[in-house]
Structure 1
Amino acid sequence: MYVIMAYDVNVDRVVKVLKTGRRYLTWVQNSVLEGELTRAQFEHLKSDLRKVIDPDQDAVRFYVIKRDPCFSKEFLGTTKNEPDQII
């Protein structure tokens, strides 16, 4: 599955959330990571993030895209980083 993770967290936890996400996904833009994960990797990512965030103040959103030929990406402007794995 292809996962896009976007987060909005307290400034005190931004670095921890980014480092946790980068263990599984590729950082592509401020507060956005993406990449191909197995179901087990996705569950580990969510478990690791639960240890870092404050659920009363922070928000992490996942967009999960199953293998489907209708998925495509388009960019305007510069890109900061590109994942090596694309559907």
Structure 2
Amino acid sequence: MFVILVYDVNQKRVARVLKTARKYLYWVQNSVLEGEISDANFVKLKTEISKKINKNEDSVIFYTFRTTRYSKREIIGIKKGGDENIL
């Protein structure tokens, strides 16, 4: 499946959330990651993120798509992030 992850977390937790998410997805812009992920790894990602955030202060949204066949991605301006999963 293809996943877009968007997060808004307290500054104290941003680095931990980003580091965790980058194990599974590609960082594309501030607070946004995306990529192909297996069902099992998606479950792992959600579990790990849940342990890193404060559910009373933070927000994480996952958009899931079965396929990217009918999607299109356009960038206007500078390209942030990259296609590497390397920290």
| Distance (whole Å) between structure 2 residues aligned to residue 73 and residue 83 of structure 1 | 14
The TM-score with structure 2 as length reference comes to: 0.90
Matches within 5 A, 1:5-84: 5-83=5-83
Deviation per residue, 1:53-76 (Å, 9 max, x gap): 000100000111111521111110
* Unpaired segments ≥5 residues, structure 2: none
The TM-score with structure 1 as length reference comes to: 0.90
Structure 1 moving runs of 4+ over 4 Å: none
Q: How far is 1:81 from its partner? A: 2.6
Distance 1:17 1:82, change over 3 A: same
Aligned length: 84
Q: How far is 1:80 from its partner? A: 1.3
Aligned-pair identity in percent equals 46
| Distance (whole Å) between structure 1 residues aligned to residue 28 and residue 51 of structure 2 | 23
* Unpaired segments ≥5 residues, structure 1: none
